[in-house]
Amino acid sequence: MTPNKLTVAVLGAGTMGAGIALVAARARHRTILRDLDDAAVQRGLDTVESFLRRSASLGKLSQEQVDAALANLSGTTDLQDVAPADVVIEAVFEDLELKRSLFGELDDVVSQDTLFHTNTSTLSITSIAAGSRHPERVVGTHYCNPPQLMKLVEVAEGRHTASQATKRSLEFLAGVGKTTVITKDRPGFILNRFLIPWENNCMRALEAGLGTVESIDRAVLGALRHPMGPFQLLDVVGLDVHKAVSMRLYEQLREPRFAPPPLVDRMIAAGDLGRKTGHGFYTYESTKSFGA
């Protein structure tokens, strides 16, 4: 498998899927974005195009680069359309049975040489790979959010992942401009094992009156040199997503630090999910969360 001009299929056209598709198309791979209905596919394609055009307006990409990326990008609702894929990147909802069944369906669609990547951040790679007749080709590739801006990807092998599949995956990721870290097939891998309890503790500090949203974010930005404060990041990720990830880790690890604080449930009940709803810890004029 060469690092250039591959066919890459991304399954799931939500925030993560659209971001991953953008990464692949920007690297000049033929990229197919697939979801279950036309509206979801179109939203994903529109999000990618909006980001690319904004990047060009800011001088971060040339018009030629934008045109090339858009020319390489297409959308579909038909799983058969991903048949030519060299790499399939699954970015659907974090549901084990859904991911397993999807890889089982893909076995009958793509070549036996096709790499299967799962973008899970909380589920076992071994368990997901069990849905495929060829678990040796399934590799965990957890893209940091948002994938079009963040360089890091966590790579995890399942129990039966072949070393050659990992090698090819690392080559592919390097070819799309990613930095990789190898991690074990454990709940939360490296990043969410650290990040989720930290975000929960920041919210607990807010509830305890140790600071305001703004002052806690400023403290983290100024002293820890994070690119985003914890509440800025939570607004990008979405409080609903944060709760889902937190609860999956809590259910597997049974450690109280992974359980989200009551503030999360109150914000979800109020519809204050973050950027995607226009209001979370901050208020936003636009509900787009892609940035540029």
Residues 6 or more apart whose CB falls under 8 angstroms from that of 63 comprise: 56
Catalytic annotation on 201? no
Helix segments in 83-237, DSSP class H: 96-107, 125-129, 163-175, 191-207, 213-219, 230-237
Catalytic annotation on 154? yes
- Annotated catalytic residue: which of 55, 124, 154, 246? 154
* Backbone torsions φ then ψ of 204, nearest 5 degrees: -65, -35
Catalytic annotation on 289? no
- Annotated catalytic residue: which of 192, 200, 246, 289? 192
For the CA atoms of 168, 174, 177, 178, the dihedral, rounded to the nearest 10 degrees, stands at 90
- Parallel/antiparallel/unpaired status of strands 138-143 and 115-118: parallel
Q: Distance of CA 197 to CAs 121, 189, 256, Å?
A: 14, 13, 9
Helix (H) or strand (E) holding 188: none
- Annotated catalytic residue: which of 29, 117, 142, 242? 142
* N residues, the chain: 292
**Cα distance between residue 62 and residue 70, in whole Å:** 13
Catalytic annotation on 226? no
- Annotated catalytic residue: which of 121, 145, 169, 200? 121
What is the token pair recorded at 134?
């060829």
List active site positions: 121, 142, 154, 192
